[in-house]
Amino acid sequence: MEVFFPRTLAELWPLKAANPESAVMAGGTDLLVRLRKTGERPPAIIALERLAELRRMSIEGGGLRIGAAVTIGELAASEIVRDALPALWQAAAALGSPPVRHGATVGGNMCTASPAGDTLPPLYVYGAAVAVAGAAGCRRLPIGDFILGPGRTSLAPGEIVTDIIVPLPTGGAFSAYYKVGKRRAMAIAVASLAVCIVRTADGAAGKVRLAWGSVGPTVISLPAVEAFLAGKRLAPDVLRQAGAMAAAAVLPIDDVRASAGYRRSLAGNLLLKLAALGDDEQEDGR
């Protein structure tokens, strides 16, 4: 098996064209596990880790542009991500373990398109866009259009993800990522919830974005629940009602990690994590 390490995108495209059956590898934390498990042996691997163009993070026009080959560890170590995108930062810190985070990348988590991918629910609630490029040019699409199903994306043959563009929430927004795994590290999410809430002056929730992981074929957004919470104070009773709506709406499955019923319960209960937010507001108001 040949392994290529292109250093520029200009070097990459001819390699991809010459090796149409090749596998693209960023960190390898998903790909190598899959190859070992299935016995698949692609004729070549094209590694993206030395592409400087894919390893940058920069603020551009009110958003954070994250190169697809930026590692999860780099995200977890980034002050900008910590301060401006706390849900993404928490998700990065909750993904795998230090060695996994050292290899795994944002673009890889995106392209694996697992409903359990930790960075995905935060990227949904922040309204991230995915920049895709191929020999013929670039395009940009919302994350919800990029991910089509479990392990399925709208990436065309010959294309790769180059960047994730994450709009920075306005000041005063609260965002967080809640994950339930089977242990505190090295755990695939049994269920997760990302939230991003812009609060109104009177302490109620203004704009609410929610995204659940591991309770459906892809990350799940429930606009009806968001609309229900918008404008309300996040008191436990309100959150319980929203939780019941969410539990009824998600589409979880049974697997070796958990039953669908448990995942459904979590989808609802995780909203009550926001009750602490209501407490803060009450205290602020006093």
Partner 1 sequence: MSQSDWRSNRPPAGGVQEIGRVAPRADAAAKVTGAERYAADYYPENYVWAGVKRAGVPHARIMGVDTASARALPGVVAVLTHKDIGGKNRLGIFEKDQPILADGVVRHCGDAVALAVAETKEALTAALAAIRVDCEPLAAVFAPEEALAAGAPIVHEGRGGGNLLLESEICFGKAREALAGCRHAVELTVELGWQEHAFLETQTGVAWQEADGSLTIVASTQTPFRDRLELAEALGLTLDRIRVTAPYLGGGFGGKDGVTVQGFLALAALHSGGRPVKIWYSREESILAGTKRHPATVTYRLGCDADGVFQALDCRLVFDTGAYASLGTEVFALALEHAGGPYRIANVAVHGKIVYTNNPVAGAFRGFGVPQAAAGIEQAVDELARVAGFDPLAMRRKNAVGCGDTTPTGVVIGRPAGLAECLAQVERHPLWRERQTWREGAPPFKRRGVGVAAVYHGMGFGPAVADYANAKLELTAEGRITVCAGVADMGQGNATTCLQIVSHALGQPYGDMELVLPDTARTLPSASSSASRTTFTYGNALIGAAGVLRERILARGALLLSFQLLAPVNAAEVDLLPGRIYHAPSGRSVPLKVIAGFMDAAERTATYSYTCPVNRQAIPTGGNLRLHGYPHRIFSYAVKLARVEVDTLTGEARVCDFLSCVEAGRVLNPQLYEQQLHGGAAQGLGYALFEDFAVSGGEIATGDLATYILPTALDVPDMETVSVAVSEDEGPFGMKGVGEVVIDGVLPAVANAVAEAAGVRVTKGTLTAEKILAALRAGGREATR
Q: Which residues bind partner 1 (CB under 8 A)?
A: 33, 97, 180, 182-188, 190, 236, 240, 243, 256-259, 262, 265-266, 269-270, 272-273, 275-276, 279
Helices 275-285, 236-249: crossing angle, 10 deg rounding: 160
- Least distance to partner 1 from the beta carbon of 154, Å? 28
Burial of 214 from C-beta contacts in 10 A (0-12 / 13-18 / 19+): buried
Nearer to partner 1, 145 or 254 (CB): 254
- Least distance to partner 1 from the beta carbon of 105, Å? 19
Nearer to partner 1, 97 or 170 (CB): 97
Q: Which two tokens stand for residue 119?
A: 């960075």
Nearer to partner 1, 29 or 162 (CB): 29
Q: Which two tokens stand for residue 103?
A: 């290899």
- Least distance to partner 1 from the beta carbon of 82, Å? 20
Cα angle 55, 57, 61; round to 5: 140
- Least distance to partner 1 from the beta carbon of 123, Å? 23
Q: By the 8 A CB rule, do 91 and 194 touch?
A: yes
Q: By the 8 A CB rule, do 129 and 66 touch?
A: no
Nearer to partner 1, 183 or 286 (CB): 183
